[in-house]
């Protein structure tokens, strides 16, 4: 469970940087920025889910209610 999300995030990052370069070369700056934003939002979605799990676990373990 641990490694696959790291590889997913890194893969999205590399892919987005390639897309960004390609779109920039094609002269579509706004599309390149939208592409970066979409990738960022996708990764943020995963990371926020992970963070929610972490906070729930911490609350359970340390009885922080």
Partner 1 sequence: MEAVQIVGLGFIATLLILVIKGQRPEFAVQLSLACAVIIFLFILTKLEAVISLFSDLADKARISHVYLNTILKIIGIAYITEFGAQICRDAGEGAVAGKIEFAGKVLVMIIAIPIIALVLDTVVKLLP
Alpha helical stretches, state H, 1-65? 2-25, 29-61
Q: Is 38 in the site for partner 1 (CB under 8 A)?
A: no
Q: Under DSSP, is residue 10 helix (H, G, I), strand (E, B) or coil?
A: helix
Least distance from C-beta 34 to partner 1, angstroms? 15
Angle between helical axes of 29-61 and 2-25 (0-180°, round to 10): 160
Task: Rule CB under 8 A: say whether 27 interacts with partner 1.
Answer: no
- With CB under 8 A as the contact rule, the residue among 28, 29, 38, 57 that binds partner 1 is 57
CB of 15 to partner 1, least distance (A): 10
Note whether 43 binds partner 1 by CB under 8 A.
Answer: yes
Whether residue 50 contacts residue 5, with contact meaning beta carbons closer than 8 Å, is answered with yes
């Amino acid at each position: 469970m641990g490694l696959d999300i790291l590889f997913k995030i890194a893969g999205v990052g590399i892919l987005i940087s390639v897309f960004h370069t390609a779109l920039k070369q094609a002269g579509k700056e706004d599309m390149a920025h939208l592409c970066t934003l979409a990738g960022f939002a996708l990764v943020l979605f995963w990371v926020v889910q992970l963070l929610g799990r972490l906070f729930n676990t911490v609350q359970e373990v340390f009885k922080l209610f």
